[in-house]
Amino acid sequence: MADENTKSTMSRRRFIKNSSYVAGGAIGGGFLGTILGRNVFTDNQQQASPEKNNNANDYNRALMYFTRQKDFDILSAATERIFPEDENGPGAIKLGVPYFIDHQLAGAYGHNDREYMQRPFYPGSDFQGYQTRLKRHEVFMVGIQAIENESQKGFDSSFLDLEDKQKDEILQKFQDGKVDLKGVTPTTFFELLRSATLEGAYSDPLYGGNGNMEGWLMKEYPGNYMSYINDIGKDKFIKKEPKPLRAHFAS
């Protein structure tokens, strides 16, 4: 827990540092109190391993979809290259994006539930969109295994052990369509990976990504407020403490 505390202090400090909150005004005097007391969410913040953290709210940081840890680790490493940790703040892994994707793949998203998946399948032009017979969860599996194959082929080593630059080279090949994949184009896979990573970084923390709302903090996005009618006319940029959807339950 000591570990956890340091992290949440750091993020708190960053939040305060990055912000020039006006006391009173739109935010209200309770603001600092609220942020310091934001414990409900601190546990979502880091990708802590279960042994180190016995907080109940971390139970959802486990695998719903992937069966092999290695596949999940490759996915994690790839998302981190798409959205790396930098001076702005955490990258995909710390935000929990890999768990977000794992959980999404297990459900309606991964199984294309609300999409037209009837035969026949033909490749189609770039302008005709998604045309693979594979569902998203299968596309991810094919893609992740291909990332590892490309890595073995190109660098004689696992993707997990590559330098960042080498990882980027491989991912770039997928984006450029320069890899042979079975059943789906490499660009389709890459675009799914890219968009799912951003979705995990910036969706409501309810989905398991955007840990501790740090994705929103970096972007100075306040999440979910009920009303801006008193602020919309104001000239200055207004920073607000982010609120999750869960806040809607309160009142």
Longest pairwise C-alpha distance within the chain = 61
Separation of alpha carbons 189 and 181, rounded Å:
9
Q: Which of 86, 156, 182, 250 is the binder for other proteins (CB under 8 A)?
A: 86
**Between 48 and 171, CB nearer to other proteins:** 171
Asked whether position 248 contacts other proteins by CB under 8 A, the answer is: yes
Asked whether position 109 contacts other proteins by CB under 8 A, the answer is: yes
- Ranges within 45-64 binding other proteins (CB under 8 A): none
Q: Which of 21, 41, 65, 130 is the binder for other proteins (CB under 8 A)?
A: 130
Q: What angle do CA 41, 47, 49 make, to 5 degrees?
A: 110
Asked whether position 40 contacts other proteins by CB under 8 A, the answer is: no
**Between 126 and 156, CB nearer to other proteins:** 126
Asked whether position 226 contacts other proteins by CB under 8 A, the answer is: yes
Q: Please give the residue ranges that form the binding site for other proteins (CB under 8 A).
A: 81-84, 86-88, 108-109, 112-118, 120, 122, 124-131, 168, 171, 175, 194, 197-199, 202-204, 206-207, 215-216, 218-229, 231-235, 237-238, 245, 248
